[in-house]
């Protein structure tokens, strides 16, 4: 694994200070082995290493679509963070994923996300999953996030 994520100077200050910890506070991201590779303004790149316990089809050894789903959701959320000026809770509203092909067994998967539009309440994100190059994608994702997620209400 690389020493740490590449953080661009244009990334928000709150992201730059916490970049090495990004993802470490998200138990499910840790569980699938998601690592932050790079952060810049409104953009995030992550990586998931191939692991046998994440296999979705035992006959081919291809990693489960669910892992790609979770990693795309994670990297999209990080791109939203990288587009904001201060730490803001976000919640995924929807996530659409098109699967172009199976991931190659044994290969790490890279996920690249761009928060291309931010309104006062909604962030719009595009992401792609690939092994070598974005123009040879495993999957494409588009997602909308709500900013300032309402905290869970205490139980009555």
Partner 1 sequence: MSKDAPSLPDVEAILARVPYAAFLGVRAEAHGDELTLILPFKKPLIGNPALPALHGGAVGAFMELTAFAQLSVVARLTRLPKTIDITIDYLRSGKPVETFARARMVRVGRRVANVHVEAWQNERAAPIAALHGNFLLAEKA
By CB under 8 A, the residues from 113 to 142 that bind partner 1 are: none
Q: Which is nearer to partner 1, 3 or 151 (CB)?
A: 151
Report, in this order, helix, strand and coil percent for the chain, each rounded to 5.
Answer: 20, 40, 40
Site for partner 1 contains 84 (CB under 8 A): no
Site for partner 1 contains 111 (CB under 8 A): no
Return the range that interacts with partner 1 (CB under 8 A); candidates 2-10, 37-45, 118-126, 146-154: 146-154
Q: Which is nearer to partner 1, 2 or 89 (CB)?
A: 89
Q: Which is nearer to partner 1, 15 or 72 (CB)?
A: 72
Site for partner 1 contains 112 (CB under 8 A): no
Site for partner 1 contains 96 (CB under 8 A): yes
Pairing of strands 137-147, 55-57: unpaired
Distance CA 27, CA 24 (A): 7
Distance CA 110, CA 137 (A): 10
DSSP 58-95: TTTTEEPHHHHHHHHHHHHHHHHHTT-SS---EEEEEE
Whose structure tokens read 């709500």?
146
Q: Which residues bind partner 1 (CB under 8 A)?
A: 25-32, 52-59, 63-67, 69-74, 89, 91-99, 102, 149, 151-152
């Amino acid at each position: 694994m690389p020493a740490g994520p590449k953080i661009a100077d244009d990334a928000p200050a709150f992201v730059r200070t916490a970049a090495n910890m990004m993802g470490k506070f998200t138990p499910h991201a840790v569980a699938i082995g998601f690592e932050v590779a790079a952060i810049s303004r409104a953009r995030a790149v992550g990586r998931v290493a191939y692991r046998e316990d994440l296999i979705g089809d035992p006959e081919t050894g291809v990693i489960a679509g669910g892992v790609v789903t979770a990693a795309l959701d994670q990297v999209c959320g990080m791109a939203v963070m990288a587009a904001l000026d201060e730490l803001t809770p976000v919640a995924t509203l929807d996530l659409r994923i098109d699967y172009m092909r199976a991931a190659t067994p044994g290969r790490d998967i890279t996920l690249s996300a761009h928060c291309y539009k931010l309104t006062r309440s909604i962030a719009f994100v595009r992401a792609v999953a690939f092994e070598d190059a974005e123009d040879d994608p495993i999957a494409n994702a588009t997602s909308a996030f709500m900013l300032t997620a309402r905290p869970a209400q205490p139980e009555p």
